[in-house]
Each structure stands twice: as C-alpha cells, then as structure tokens.
C-alpha cells in the first residue's frame, strides 16, 4: 500500500510539472503584504552642504536634512515641514588671570554685565537668554523651574549689579559666529587680552560624547538629564576645593544609585546643579533652538515623524517611526547630513561622528532607546501591556 501511494504521488507531480512547463511564464511585482515595521529597505545618508540639501528637498529628491537647518528663502508649508529641538548652550567663562576673577563679587558683577549686554543683542541671533543650565527642552526641567526663574531674576536685576566702570572695562573673546554677534565691537578682546570668553556648545554633541552604544545597549541613562549636562558644562570652571569636592560627591551618589526614594533623588539633583551655578566664573547664559526640515509633499515625502527634544532628527526614534508616503511599508529613504564620515567604523570604539551614529541607529538594535520628549528610556521592541479591564 505504501508503494502504491508513493507511485501515485510521483505520477501526480510529473503531470503537474509538465503542465507548468507548457504554461506561459508569469512574474509578480508584489512583495509581502505585511511588514513588521515601517523600515525602508534602503537608507541613503549623503554628506551635503546645507544649501545643496535645501535644493534637493525642494526638488523632491531628499526626504530630510539631519543637523542644523539648510537656508530656505521661503518655506512652502505644503511641501516642507520642520521640527525644533535644543540647539546649543551659550557658555561664558572668565579668564582666571583677569582682574574680574579675583573674587566672587567682581566675578558676578562681570557676569551680570555680560548677560545683560547679550539680552540687548539677541535680535536675529536666535539666543534665548536663560542663565541656568537646565532648559525647558530637558525632561527634568520641572524639577528645576523655580531655580531657573531665580537665576533669571538674579542676572536681570539686583543680584549681579555692575557699575558703569565694570561694563566699560570688560574685554570679551568670542568663539564662533553666534558669539561674535553677541559682543559689542568695542568690548572684543584679542590675543591674551580678554576677561571672559563666550563659546557655543552643541547639545547633541554633549549627549553623543557621553553615550556608549555597544552590544544592544545604549547609555548610560543619565546622559540626557539636565543635571548631568550641567555638570559637563560647568564643572571645569570650579576653582574652590570645597565646592568641587561637594559636586564630585553628589555626582558619584547620583551615578552610583546610592539614593533611595524619588524625593531624595530629586533634592540631590537640585543640590548638584545649585552647587554648579553657585559661582560666576563659569555659567550658562542661554541656549538656541535648532530647526530641522523634512519633505512632507504628497506623495513623495515622509510622515509619522518622531524626533528627540535634545537631538532632533539625529536619534533612534526618528528612524524607527518615519514612514514613506509613496511606500507605506517599504522603499528608499534619502537623508542628508552636514559632515562626511570621519570616525572608525566598528561597533566598539567607532561610529562616534554624526554620520556613523545615524548609520548605527539604523543598523543597531538597542534594547532601549531614548524617549523623545523626556529624560527616560523606552523599550525598543517589547513592552508589557496590561489588559483593560484587567483579566
């Protein structure tokens, strides 16, 4: 019986093969009807000058430009969209050998003069005067809002009064185009003759330089917190041994998970930032907002855009949510970026430049990725969902 059944199957296969051999050749142009995500099956990351990126986006040949925005003479709302994130911190540091740095009173007088002068020259510069290192773009800003308001009042009013002679004698060195626009020509210091320096620190660079991506892990988790970034910006300006020791001890406790309870941790974070901003020899004067553009044209653009409050489109969340309008589940995503690759290409010590990080976000599969609008992290693939109502 077994032999008979086998012979029947063999004859059926032979007949079927013969029929198919006589049938005309047919090809299907359809792929799978369902995909596990909106991932494009090809992502092109091209190094482009900002103006070239703007031209390609207008022509519908570029989906998004990751980084500081290209210059658009006029942005048509129906074809070009934009997102805003934290651009850069504007940091002021006093020269240790300056006469204004000899004591805290004169240092704070100089700091008040610089901040108030900046406030009169913000038009067109994009600077938002905010003399506190934790900004509204940080997920933990609500824990510092009252301290930020007090710092703004301190620099705007009587907390850092300055005499006309101090204001006239200040010599400020400016680093970068933004800083140049914030300093009066008569106050600019050249060479070794300067009392303070104004520098611009990109927020995305501050996050990226502190983040490690390895073996499906992206962290540590505090790199996105305002208190940690405040330490990165201001700790090097502390000269008093006692204050420096106190700051180092608080940082070690926060990073070592030695604090029990949410309230105790929040108080320690506030205490750390309070120690960092207690002096005037180094301080954050404000921040800028970064605007990035993408193509929203139907049907050649993209949609479903998620972006990060600190890093904008240069984040894992953008690549995991962006959806092509022409291809609902698949297609070619074309991105522009300002700088060509410069870092080593390896998953241990490389992928540290803008190009490499964006590529690694597409290739890597971290267990958790940054939550786009807060300091927390979210699971990349799996989440615990509880039935409602609970069964």
Whole-number Å distance between alpha carbons of 21 and 25 = 9
pLDDT digits (tens, 9 = 90+) for 310-333: 989 998 889 888 889 887 667 889
Contact 61, 334 (CB under 8 A): yes
Contact 219, 203 (CB under 8 A): no
The full DSSP string for 15-42 is: HHHHHHHHSPP-------S--SS---SE
With respect to residue 194, please indicate whether it lies within any of the assigned structural domains: no
With respect to residue 153, please indicate whether it lies within any of the assigned structural domains: no
Distance (Å) of CA 235 to CA 88, 266, 303, 369, 370: 18, 19, 41, 27, 25
* Number of compact structural domains in the chain: 1
With respect to residue 303, please indicate whether it lies within any of the assigned structural domains: yes
pLDDT by residue, tens only, the chain of 391 residues: 333 333 443 444 444 444 444 444 444 444 444 444 556 788 999 999 988 998 899 888 999 999 877 666 666 667 899 999 999 999 999 999 998 988 888 998 899 889 988 888 877 778 999 999 999 999 999 999 999 999 988 877 644 444 555 556 789 998 888 888 888 888 888 777 899 999 999 998 888 888 877 766 777 888 889 999 999 999 999 989 999 999 999 999 999 877 888 899 999 999 999 999 998 999 999 999 999 999 999 888 999 898 999 989 998 889 888 889 887 667 889 999 998 988 877 766 677 788 888 888 888 777 788 888 787 888 876 656 666 666 5
What tokens were used for 175?
């680093």
Of 287, 49, 51, nearest in space to 178 by CA: 287
What tokens were used for 231?
């330490």
With respect to residue 358, please indicate whether it lies within any of the assigned structural domains: yes
With respect to residue 300, please indicate whether it lies within any of the assigned structural domains: yes
Q: Strand 128-129 and strand 42-47: pairing? A: unpaired
What tokens were used for 108?
């704070």
Q: Where are the beta strands (DSSP E) in 95-226?
A: 128-129, 172-174, 196-202, 212-214, 217-219
With respect to residue 344, please indicate whether it lies within any of the assigned structural domains: yes
Range of the domain at 50: 42-84+291-379
pLDDT digits (tens, 9 = 90+) for 318-373: 988 888 988 766 788 999 999 898 887 776 667 778 888 888 888 877 778 888 87
- Tokens 């008979």 -> residue: 4
Name, in order, each residue with C-beta under 8 angstroms of 18's C-beta and a sequence gap of 6 or more: none
With respect to residue 93, please indicate whether it lies within any of the assigned structural domains: no
Whole-number Å distance between alpha carbons of 208 and 16 = 61
With respect to residue 353, please indicate whether it lies within any of the assigned structural domains: yes
């Amino acid at each position: 019986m077994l032999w008979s059944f086998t012979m029947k199957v063999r004859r059926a296969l032979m007949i079927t093969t013969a029929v198919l051999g006589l049938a005309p050749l047919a090809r299907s142009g359809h792929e799978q009807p369902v995909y596990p995500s909106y991932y494009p099956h090809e992502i092109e990351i091209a190094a482009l000058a900002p103006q070239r990126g703007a031209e390609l986006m207008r022509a519908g040949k570029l989906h998004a430009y990751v980084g500081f925005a290209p210059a658009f003479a006029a942005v048509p709302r129906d074809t070009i969209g934009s997102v805003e994130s934290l651009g850069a911190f504007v940091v002021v540091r006093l020269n240790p050998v300056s006469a204004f740095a000899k004591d805290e009173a004169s240092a704070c007088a100089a700091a008040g003069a610089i901040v108030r002068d900046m406030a009169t020259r913000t038009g067109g510069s994009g600077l938002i005067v905010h003399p506190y290192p934790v900004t509204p773009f940080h997920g933990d800003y609500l824990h510092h809002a009252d301290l930020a308001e007090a710092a703004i009042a301190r620099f705007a009013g009587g907390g850092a009064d300055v005499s006309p002679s101090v204001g006239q004698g200040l010599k400020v060195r400016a680093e970068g185009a933004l800083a140049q626009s914030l300093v009066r020509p008569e106050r600019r210091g050249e060479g070794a003759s300067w009392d303070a320096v104004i520098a611009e620190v990109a927020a995305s660079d501050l996050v990226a330089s502190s983040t490690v991506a390895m073996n499906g892990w992206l962290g540590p988790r505090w790199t996105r917190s305002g208190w940690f970034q405040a330490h990165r910006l201001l700790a090097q300006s502390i000269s008093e041994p006692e204050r420096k020791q106190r700051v180092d001890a608080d940082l070690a406790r926060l990073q070592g998970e030695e604090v029990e309870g949410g309230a105790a941790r929040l108080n320690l974070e506030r205490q750390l930032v309070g120690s960092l901003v207690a002096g005037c020899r180094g301080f954050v004067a404000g921040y800028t907002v970064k605007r990035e553009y993408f193509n929203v044209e139907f049907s050649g653009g993209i949609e479903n855009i998620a972006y990060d409050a600190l890093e904008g489109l240069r984040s894992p969340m953008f690549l995991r949510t962006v959806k092509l309008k022409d291809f609902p589940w698949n297609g070619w995503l074309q991105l522009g970026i300002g700088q060509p690759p410069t870092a080593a290409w390896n998953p241990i010590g490389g992928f540290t430049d803008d190009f490499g990080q964006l590529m690694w976000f597409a290739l890597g599969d971290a267990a958790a990725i940054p939550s786009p609008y807060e300091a927390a992290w979210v699971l990349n693939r799996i989440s615990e969902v509880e039935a409602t109502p609970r069964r």
